[in-house]
Amino acid sequence: MSGNNRARTRFAPSPTGFLHIGGARTALYNWLYSRGNGGDFILRVEDTDQVRSTEESTRAILDAMIWLGLSWDEGPYFQAQRIDIHRQMVEKLLVGGKAFCCDCTPEQLEERRKEELAAGRKPKYGGRCRERGLKRGPGVAVRFRCPDQGTTVVDDLIKGRVTFNNEELDDLVIERADGYPTYNFAVVVDDALMNITHVIRGDDHLNNTPRQILIYEALGYKVPFFGHLPMILGADKARLSKRHGATSVMAYKEMGYLPEALVNYLVRLGWSYGDQEIFHLKELISIFTLEAVGKSAAIFNPEKLLWLNQHYIKTADNERLVDDMLPFWKGRNIEPRSRGYACAVVADLKPRVKTLVELAEAGTFYFHSDLRYDEKAAEEFLKPDAATILTALAAELPSQNNFSKEAIDSFLRSFAQQRELKLKAIIPPLRVALTGKTVSPGIDEVMVTLGRPEVIRRMEKAIAHIERL
């Protein structure tokens, strides 16, 4: 009963902060569902909270969606620009007797709340203004006349059937005393007028859904399908928050994650497809279903995300990685001498790193001719006998016509053989001379990438360093 034909879905963030992991997963599932069902994905910014909404947050959310590759077909619509429509719909309910005006002050409501609590009852509005026939105007709120009896059923695509007693729902405010619509009202009007067929969102909204269904019915709109996604929790089973690490999507970009790693991670957070772990966005479109979304909360696992990131970096195209690396290099005042050089650097490093930040850190030696040696590495390996070896190597290198990985490999071997040396005596000092460190990509790869003139320059510099000791 998923009503699969031409699904119109939407993502409706409130611009009061960054796009977080949970919101991004909601956006992704909506995106996938509409893409997989020949429909459209609509972006609507719910900015009716004038105090907390900011343009900066809207920009940040849009940037994060673009970065993740979640393109929208319509919008962004801005809810605050639709207030006149909401107001008309409020009027429609008032005229039909399905809503009423209420001038209860916050103090009166609070007093009533306390009385109810004192009497051991669940606080309810109590219907004080229901029959007073007040007029709409400044300082007057509008409430939905909720049926006192009966039940409202949510046939949720993920949670199954959930039944609510109308008595519990209360006469909710649909227009505040300042003339602004409340979330539960505006969301219904907008979803209905935007012909949304499937509302997929976090299950923190499940309790709002019966209220919204009653408003759909009161306005004579077709009720859409609903799918409520389980929460995302930290390893300690508490709701995911800052103390579990970064929760904003763009923080992951800054930490050197690739968007496809995050998308792959997010899709598996509550959805599964056999044992498969690696999913590309395009492939997901045809295999994603809401039926395969789990009912229980998902646990955020940063190590798995890191593992996926490593996979995507390792398999990424070099040119593309260079584009992604440019800002990270720039932040370290590194400007690759050429595009080709940058490509060679990422090719050397991509099998060895988990993030782009690591790639930038591990690769600084490629860009600094004036290498600073790691103190311990230099102490251990840049010693007088190393100077002899490096001098001999530097003398023979220019005569090697072929400077490929294979040629370098066999040159180093025969060099060692001729002098009855172990490779272990040659490679470590050479590595420190070329990279400043004891850990690096294969020495042959490093040499090819640096190029013969730079290799010889670095060897000479190391020899001079040893001679100064």
Give whichever of 203 and 348 is closer to ligand GLU, judged by the CB atom: 203
**Which of 9-17, 60-68, 231-239, 427-435 is the region at the interface with ligand GLU (rule: CB under 6 A)?**
9-17
Give whichever of 187 and 316 is closer to ligand GLU, judged by the CB atom: 187
Give whichever of 13 and 336 is closer to ligand GLU, judged by the CB atom: 13
- SS3 for 403? coil
Q: Where are the alpha helices (DSSP H) in 269-317?
A: 281-287, 302-315
Kind plus residue range of the DSSP H or E element containing 380 = helix 375-381
Contacting ligand GLU within 108-167 (CB under 6 A): none
Contacting ligand GLU within 440-469 (CB under 6 A): none
In sequence order, the β-bridge partners of residue 175 are 142, 181
Judged by CB under 6 A, the residue of 7, 12, 27, 321 near ligand GLU is 12
**Which of the following is catalytic: 242, 330, 376, 383?**
242
Give whichever of 14 and 248 is closer to ligand GLU, judged by the CB atom: 14
Q: In the sheet that 198-202 helps form, which strands lie side by side, from edge to edge?
A: 74-78, 40-45, 8-11, 198-202, 225-229, 151-156, 160-165
Contacting ligand GLU within 26-55 (CB under 6 A): 46
Count of residues touching ligand GLU (by CB under 6 A): 7
- SS3 for 198? strand
CA separation for the pair 232, 445 (Å, rounded): 43
CA separation for the pair 180, 183 (Å, rounded): 9
Contact status, residue 355 vs residue 313, Cβ threshold 8 Å: yes
**By CB under 6 A, is residue 207 in contact with ligand GLU?**
no
**Which of 1-9, 12-20, 90-98, 107-115 is the region at the interface with ligand GLU (rule: CB under 6 A)?**
12-20
Position 439, amino acid:
V
Contact status, residue 157 vs residue 227, Cβ threshold 8 Å: yes
Backbone angles phi, psi at 164, to 5 degrees: -115, 140
Give whichever of 203 and 358 is closer to ligand GLU, judged by the CB atom: 203
For 274, other C-beta atoms within 10 Å of its C-beta total: 7
Give whichever of 49 and 361 is closer to ligand GLU, judged by the CB atom: 49
**Which of 7-15, 54-62, 162-170, 260-268 is the region at the interface with ligand GLU (rule: CB under 6 A)?**
7-15
Judged by CB under 6 A, the residue of 7, 9, 13, 259 near ligand GLU is 13
Taking the complex as a whole, how short is the minimal distance between the CB of residue 45 and ligand GLU, in angstroms? Answer: 9
Contact status, residue 216 vs residue 188, Cβ threshold 8 Å: yes
Give the length of the chain.
469
Give whichever of 77 and 366 is closer to ligand GLU, judged by the CB atom: 77
**Which of 8-16, 64-72, 314-322, 436-444 is the region at the interface with ligand GLU (rule: CB under 6 A)?**
8-16
Q: Is 405 a catalytic residue?
A: no
In sequence order, the β-bridge partners of residue 225 are 198
Judged by CB under 6 A, the residue of 7, 8, 9, 14 near ligand GLU is 14
Contacting ligand GLU within 167-206 (CB under 6 A): 187, 201, 205
CA separation for the pair 233, 245 (Å, rounded): 12
Q: In the sheet that 173-175 helps form, which strands lie side by side, from edge to edge?
A: 99-102, 141-144, 173-175
Taking the complex as a whole, how short is the minimal distance between the CB of residue 291 and ligand GLU, in angstroms? Answer: 20
Taking the complex as a whole, how short is the minimal distance between the CB of residue 129 and ligand GLU, in angstroms? Answer: 27
Contact status, residue 458 vs residue 397, Cβ threshold 8 Å: no
**By CB under 6 A, is residue 244 in contact with ligand GLU?**
no
Cβ neighbourhood burial of 186 (10 Å; 0-12, 13-18, 19+): buried
Taking the complex as a whole, how short is the minimal distance between the CB of residue 216 and ligand GLU, in angstroms? Answer: 13
Taking the complex as a whole, how short is the minimal distance between the CB of residue 342 and ligand GLU, in angstroms? Answer: 40
**By CB under 6 A, is residue 224 in contact with ligand GLU?**
no
In sequence order, the β-bridge partners of residue 199 are 226
Interacting residues toward ligand GLU by CB under 6 A: 12-14, 46, 187, 201, 205
Q: Which residues are catalytic?
A: 242
